[in-house]
Amino acid sequence: AKRSWRQDAHVALKALAKTHEGRTELAKILNEKAIDRHKAESILVALSNSKAPDAIQHLRRYAATVTDMELFAAAMEGVLKSMPEPEARRFCLEQAQKLAENPDAAVEKLMFFIRGLRQDDDPPQVKVLRKILRRTKNEELRVACVRSLAKWVLDGSEARDDVLRILRQRLTDDNPAVRVAAARALGESGNVRYVRMLAPLLQDDDRSARQAGAEGISALLGWDFPGSVAGAELDAWIDQL
């Protein structure tokens, strides 16, 4: 019976989303303070699937005010899905640039837009990620930026050298997860001069950072790194380098 009710509700929401008046009514319901999560998610899906310009505006306005990050993401995904990919990428970049002014004020929203960036020859994307890294004190955000920058390492664009410089600086980050992400990215660069820069990680206090350093050095020198090595075996393997 519960499943049948949900199916009926889905059909009703889909029907409402087909008309301007229905979409307006759905937006009103969506903004009710007492609305439960399941109903909100269902309305967001209905508005997103309609792809009507007014539905997208309702999604944008909702995303601008909602504090629940899962609902924010659902609304913004609907907005992005309505755009051609290049436009969606530009939109994510514009939003990231705005939030980068004070990155720690809206960490989760900023991380959402960072995930929406795509690798291309677009220097502003690298510039905004570097700006966030310089300003944020949030460890998760720094990890997200470094992982996003890693997309450029294997690329032959002009941005690659700038990205590698940023990643080198992150080898001494306070957060071991950032050091790990930077080491792995540099290990994929194919440039053996980074062996010397990765070497200090072999003495890192954090085991995952030591392993990332060993993996990066092995990749640069063309060695096979035994992926199953851990614990004391990892330390013994590192001592042999």
Where b means 16+ CB within 10 Å and e means fewer, 93-111 reads bebbbebbeebeebbebbb
- Residue 13 per-residue DSSP state: H
Q: Decide: 148 and 128 in contact? Cβ < 8 Å.
A: no
Predicted pLDDT at 3: 44
Any residues with CB less than 8 A from the CB of 194 and at least 6 apart, and which?
A: 168, 186, 187, 216, 220
CB atoms within 10 A of CB 47: 29
| ∠ CA 68-73-74, rounded to 5° | 100
End-to-end alpha carbon distance in the chain: 65
The overall pTM is greater than 0.85? no
Can you give the C-alpha Rg of the chain in angstroms?
A: 23
Any residues with CB less than 8 A from the CB of 82 and at least 6 apart, and which?
A: 48, 51, 56
Predicted pLDDT at 5: 37
The parts of the chain modelled with pLDDT lower than 70 are 1-8, 120-122, 154-158, 225-241
Predicted pLDDT at 1: 36
Any residues with CB less than 8 A from the CB of 116 and at least 6 apart, and which?
A: 80, 88, 89, 91, 92
